[in-house]
Amino acid sequence: MSDSIQRVSIVVLISGNGTNLQAIIDAVATADLPVDIRAVISNKPEAYGLERARRAAIPALVVDHRRYPDRAAFDAALQTAIDQYQPRLVVLAGFMRILTPEFVAHYHGRLLNIHPSLLPAFRGLDTHKRALEAGVKEHGVSIHFVTAELDGGPLVAQQKIAVLPGDDALSLAARAQQAEHILYPQVIRWFAEGRLILQANRAMLDGEPVRLSHQTTSG
């Protein structure tokens, strides 16, 4: 890892296991992803991802949503916790809280989320189960800039995965996560290299509107 390159500061928000966080940590260590993970913040004290952060010597913080009277108070505390690290980019990696429009506006153009479906299909929770129930042949994962519309912000990248005979929600989730672990570091690299921006509510890559069909592969 070269110290001469300009690293983009990021803060990662999690609620659970943190395998996407781990993929980002690993990409910094082994693939020279040019970011500096300034902190990992969880709304759940028991999130295993906090342990992953500590093992990588990254500050690991808890802002427990249950300690705040309402969503606005929690988001304000979360924003304060994030902003002490002055990140250029905030990465939602399995962060399972709905965010207020004020919070989202504060990080306009520098807040990314990963979602386990081919958006706009299956916004919200239980995406794998719902995809199976709907009988879709193709499922996948999406990364998007976050706006006030839940899981509705401008899409940046998608990875398709085929639904196989005999799949259940667990097997589908496992393959979706494999795809996530490749796709998220790649998208963060685009942002860190200044290639990915949000402009007039469109995700732009290398000066062109993102064309999702050029970034998906089946498998």
Tell whether residue 17 is a contact of ligand GAR (CB under 6 A). yes
Tell whether residue 159 is a contact of ligand GAR (CB under 6 A). no
Of residues 39 through 78, those in contact with ligand GAR by CB under 6 A are 49
Tell whether residue 180 is a contact of ligand GAR (CB under 6 A). yes
Output the smallest distance, CB 14 to ligand GAR, in A: 6
The CA distance from 67 to 96, in Å, is 16
Angle between helices 48-55 and 19-30 (to 10 degrees): 20
Q: Is 115 a catalytic residue?
A: yes
Alpha-carbon distance values, 186 to 53, 63, 107, 140, 217 (Å): 20, 28, 21, 16, 14
Q: How many Cβ atoms from other residues are within 10 Å of residue 121's Cβ?
A: 15
The CA distance from 166 to 62, in Å, is 39
Output the smallest distance, CB 4 to ligand GAR, in A: 31
Tell whether residue 128 is a contact of ligand GAR (CB under 6 A). no
Tell whether residue 171 is a contact of ligand GAR (CB under 6 A). no
Choose, from 65, 115, 128, 144, the residue flagged as catalytic: 115
Among 19, 79, 100, 216, binds ligand GAR (CB under 6 A): 19
Burial class (CB in 10 A: 0-12, 13-18, 19+), 136: middle
Tell whether residue 177 is a contact of ligand GAR (CB under 6 A). yes
Burial class (CB in 10 A: 0-12, 13-18, 19+), 160: middle
Residue nearest to ligand GAR (CB): 94
Tell whether residue 94 is a contact of ligand GAR (CB under 6 A). yes
Tell whether residue 167 is a contact of ligand GAR (CB under 6 A). no
The CA distance from 201 to 212, in Å, is 16
Output the smallest distance, CB 85 to ligand GAR, in A: 20
The candidate with the shortest Cα–Cα distance to 157, out of 193, 191, 128, is 191
User: What residues act catalytically?
Assistant: 115
Binding site for ligand GAR (CB under 6 A): 14, 16-20, 49, 93-94, 114-116, 177, 180
